[in-house]
Amino acid sequence: MSDPRPIRAPLGPVLWAFGMLTLLATCAEPVPQDYTHRFAVSARPETVSVPAHYVGNADPFAGAGRETFDALVAGYLDRGHGPVTVAALAPPPGATLTAARLDAMRRRLVAAGIPASDIRIALTAEGAPDTLTISYERYGAVLPSCGDWSTPMDFNPLNTPYPNFGCDQQRNLGLMVSDPADLLSMQPADASDAANTERLMKDYRSVVPAASAPVATESVKNAIEQTSDQNAASGASVGSNSGGSGTGSGASTR
């Protein structure tokens, strides 16, 4: 005769498996929910290098090369970090042409607006002859890649952020920032100018405020209310008299 009791699976292995899954879930690295962390915008250093080729005594930045030189100077003044390096192949002993070219380029950079303290002269063991290399460091923004629409938007029972949520916001921020180096650290504040601050405060306090609408006082408000009451009472009196005379006239007619 068979046993009528239902067959039950042992709970030990089931509980053990459930516990292992829970342990693995707790040990897994959590997925960041903040889109500023999931799509972080950072910056990395870049080197801008412009060669200046000399042919005899000709100016390497004459004619169309003038735009290249102006763009170099404007780029450094706008986003440059560190010094501007003017490098040349080390000349043989006794040669003076390279030194003269380096000095002329340094003076030209200073005349264009670059501080003399930001210019460095370097002689290298390798490089093309009759060529000066002008270089500086700047930072470029590292942008996140967007467009992940792999998760269906019509089914999200856990209400978790979608893979692409916030990516465009971060990418646009990196595209709009004036100097990507500001994404790494803030710029130092300028020194305070006490004399300029005092002048601004004096100008601010000496300005006479523009004429504004007069503010009604309590006496003016009371006068306005009394006039309104008198007008209302006068209107009621006129209405009563006209009504009374009309009634009297009607009675006399009868």
Q: Band the pLDDT of 56: cuts 50, 70, 90.
A: confident
Q: What is the mean pLDDT of residues 225-233?
A: 69
What's residue 243's pLDDT? 44
Inform me whether the pLDDT recorded for 148 exceeds 60. yes
Distance CA 91, CA 125 (A): 9
What's residue 33's pLDDT? 73
Number of Cβ within a 10 Å radius of residue 88 = 24
**Residue 110 burial (C-beta neighbours within 10 Å; 0-12, 13-18, 19+):** middle
What's residue 93's pLDDT? 87
The backbone torsions φ and ψ at residue 58, rounded to the nearest 5 degrees and listed phi first, read -70, 150
- Write the CA distances from 66 to 53, 61, 107, integer angstroms: 13, 5, 16
Distance CA 238, CA 60 (A): 101
β-pair partners for 81: 137
Which pTM value belongs to this model? Answer: 0.59
The residue with tokens 């006399």 is 252
What tokens does 88 get?
Answer: 């040349």
Q: Where in the chain are the domains?
A: 59-138
Q: Band the pLDDT of 162: cuts 50, 70, 90.
A: confident
Closest CA to 89 of 135, 124, 47: 124
What's residue 31's pLDDT? 58
Q: Band the pLDDT of 110: cuts 50, 70, 90.
A: very high
Specify the amino acid at residue 152: P
Q: Band the pLDDT of 160: cuts 50, 70, 90.
A: confident
Helix (H, G, I), strand (E, B) or coil at 249: helix
What's residue 179's pLDDT? 92
Name the architecture of domain 59-138. 2-Layer Sandwich (3.30)
What's residue 137's pLDDT? 97
Q: Band the pLDDT of 21: cuts 50, 70, 90.
A: low
Inform me whether the pLDDT recorded for 249 exceeds 60. no
- Residue-averaged pLDDT of the chain: 80
Q: Which residue has the higher pLDDT, 132 or 220?
A: 132
Inform me whether the pLDDT recorded for 127 exceeds 90. no
Q: Band the pLDDT of 186: cuts 50, 70, 90.
A: confident
